[in-house]
Amino acid sequence: MSGPAAGVALIALTAAALPLITRDSYYLDVATTILMNLTLTMSFRLQISTGQINMAHISFMGIGAYASALLVTRAGLSFWATLWIGALVAASLAVPIGSIALRVSGPYYFLITFAFSEVVRLFFNNFFEGLFGGPSGLVGIPKPGRVLGLAFDSKLALYGLMAVMCVVVVLALVRLDYSRFGLTAGAIRQADLVAETLGVNVFRYKLTAFVLGSFVAGLAGVFFAHFRQVLHSSDFGLEPMVLLVVFTVIGGTGSVWGPAVGTILMTIASELLRELHHYEILVFGAVLILTMLFAPEGLVALPSAARRLLRRRRRQATAPAGAGLAP
Amino acid sequence: MSIELLVQALLNGFGLAMVYVLVALGLTLIFSILEIINFAHGEFYMLGGYITYYAYALFGLNYFATLGLAILTVGLAGVAAERLIFHHLRGRALNAFIVSLGLLWVMQAGAQLAFGVLDKPVPSAFSGVVRVFGLVMSVERVVVTLSAIVLIAALYLFLRWSRPGRAMRAVAQDPDAAALQGVNIDAASALGFGVGCALAGGAGGLLAPLFAVSPAMGALPVVKAFIIIIVGGMGSLPGAVLGGLLLGGVEGLGALFMGSAAVNILGFLMVIVVLLVRPRGLLSGA
């Protein structure tokens, strides 16, 4: 347990130390975005860990975001209530949707979840324009209100809130990954039929991961809504979804640290390339292809892969020819 | 409501649907041979559109010659994509899928940089309308629909009778057995990917005069193609045609009663209903 615990502590300490180094609002914005993306990628990895790429993950973020934005602006609820309500709305919609989508697997699953995400996007864009704001977006979402004597009107306070949320989520997901649940999820990813014959209720595990992931995505969505204060349906379309895939798989999905490394690297790269939008997606697309071709386990797995290669080289050099059986 | 109006609505739906069937057939062919869901398929469609813009609208080449050029060039681009990228990911469907997302971005951003972000109009090749039994269709749409049907028929004949076509079907059925019979799997896969992309390129060329050409033009047809192959059953060529007819019918009739956004959602609802009843699509053998 020491490895993962140390990792979470590292994230928490880094997050806590940042305001000591800089209070520049631009850097705080970037750092907040990193933490928000990290929350999303960690929850996305939870689903990938059962071997499913859910192309609608970003939609559950959108559902949480729109639910909270509407409850705050129309019903006058407090952000601190809608934070949970928004996430719960996302999770409860995930139950029927996951139950339908998880009837199929592999390529069918990519496509049905993608179909669902398009339905959600079109819905926010074209229906109930008075409510969702239509193509011009939902504007005028307030920042989180005061709670426990703390005001959340500054960048620093929002950063702090996101940091706490992110560390709690990461801690919970890391614990989950090293629990019986995480082990079972790994077994399902590697050989779901074998897991099934050993008495694992594969469907229920996949659905749990789906709903849990959607809950976290909903949380991140609520924060997103009140952080950006504007929502567009395109914030939850294919482009941000692919970005989420890039963030998650470039680091590698084998361990919980892959998405962390990928998210931090890629969010910073995205900021650096922001002025050159076409180049940004060109570079990201190319990086995604090259990673999958040359480091399919992700960047995090590179050191151990290099070590393995080196060891094999050394063994080949010392062992007589023909002794090795490895292909 | 008169019966003519209904038939007219169905006809409108089917006309465009035949072109989307071309895109869907390419996707499903690639899936059946390589087990890859090519999310970048719409970008090959977009390439076909740009070739039509440059060769036909700017250079003034004959309409049908341009179509042939689009099919050939995009087909070669598909072969290149298979040899350079997807070939190395055989048997790893998840990674191949992720790579196709990357390819989508590279091709779309590449098109934005190379051709600019603005829509480019392509003039109509045909004018006038055809009237039969009180039904009206523009000559252009008739030509586009008939061309799509000819291409579908050509694909059928190619896969049914030609040697490389039969090799592809053998690989789709059982790659190991095909290899044992002397089929060159690498060649069949590359050719299959190429033919699949060529169909998308042809569809892009056909629709370029109807809609403007732009870097993002591939998004809509590829989404429709996804709907078609999920409904019809992935990997099934007759399924793609059936799925296309169903989608065309549903969208054509839907357009009578509701706006275009609601019509788009109808297709997705059809997907969800079909998956609830037959999770692997209507005509899937698997």
| Exposure letters A274-304 (e unless 16+ CB within 10 A, then b) | eeeebebbbbbbbbbbebbbeebbbbbbeee
pLDDT class of B79 with cuts at 50, 70, 90: very high
Structural domain spans, chain B: 22-217
Question: Do A125 and A134 contact (CB within 8 A), yes or no?
Answer: yes
Residue type, B38: N
The distance of A130 to chain B (nearest Cα, Å) reads 16
Question: Do A45 and A249 contact (CB within 8 A), yes or no?
Answer: no
Q: Please determine, for residue A52, whether its predicted confidence score (pLDDT) is greater than 50.
A: yes
Structural domain spans, chain A: 2-237
How confident is the prediction for chain B on average, in pLDDT?
86
Q: Find chain A residues with C-beta within 8 A of B117's C-beta.
A: 278
Q: In the prediction, which pLDDT does A319 show? A: 57
Q: In the prediction, which pLDDT does A323 show? A: 44
- Kindly state the average pLDDT of the residues A188-193: 75
- Kindly state the average pLDDT of the residues A176-204: 77
How many CB pairs below 8 A link A and B?
A: 120
Q: Please determine, for residue B11, whether its predicted confidence score (pLDDT) is greater than 50.
A: yes
Q: Which residues pair with B120 in a beta bridge?
A: B213
pLDDT class of B160 with cuts at 50, 70, 90: confident
Q: pLDDT (tens digit, 9 = 90+) per residue, A214-264?
A: 999 999 999 898 888 888 888 888 888 888 888 888 888 777 778 888 888
Test A281 with B108 for CB contact under 8 angstroms.
Answer: yes
- Kindly state the average pLDDT of the residues B157-184: 87
C-alpha A318 chain-centroid distance:
45
pLDDT class of B193 with cuts at 50, 70, 90: very high
- Window 237-276 of B: residues touching A by CB (8 A cutoff) are 259, 261-262, 264-265, 268-269, 271-272, 275-276
Which residue of A lies nearest to B117 if distances are taken between CA atoms?
A278
Q: Please determine, for residue B7, whether its predicted confidence score (pLDDT) is greater than 70.
A: yes
Test A115 with B268 for CB contact under 8 angstroms.
Answer: yes
pLDDT class of A318 with cuts at 50, 70, 90: low
C-alpha A294 chain-centroid distance:
23
> What is the predicted ipTM?
0.85
For B204, the 3-state DSSP assignment is: helix
- Tell whether pTM > 0.90: no
| CA-closest candidate to residue A63, choices A204, A205, A206, A231 | A231
Is B90 touching A (CB cutoff 8 A)? Answer: no
Q: Please determine, for residue A195, whether its predicted confidence score (pLDDT) is greater than 50.
A: yes
| CA-closest candidate to residue B44, choices B233, B225, B239, B230 | B225
Q: Please determine, for residue B286, whether its predicted confidence score (pLDDT) is greater than 70.
A: no
Distance CA A64, CA A49 (A): 23
Q: In the prediction, which pLDDT does A322 show? A: 45
Best A49, A111, A123, A245 member to test B by mutation, with max B CBs in 10 Å, is A111
Is B219 touching A (CB cutoff 8 A)? Answer: yes
Q: Please determine, for residue A63, whether its predicted confidence score (pLDDT) is greater than 90.
A: yes
Question: Do B165 and B183 contact (CB within 8 A), yes or no?
Answer: no
Is B279 touching A (CB cutoff 8 A)? Answer: yes
How confident is the prediction for chain A on average, in pLDDT?
81
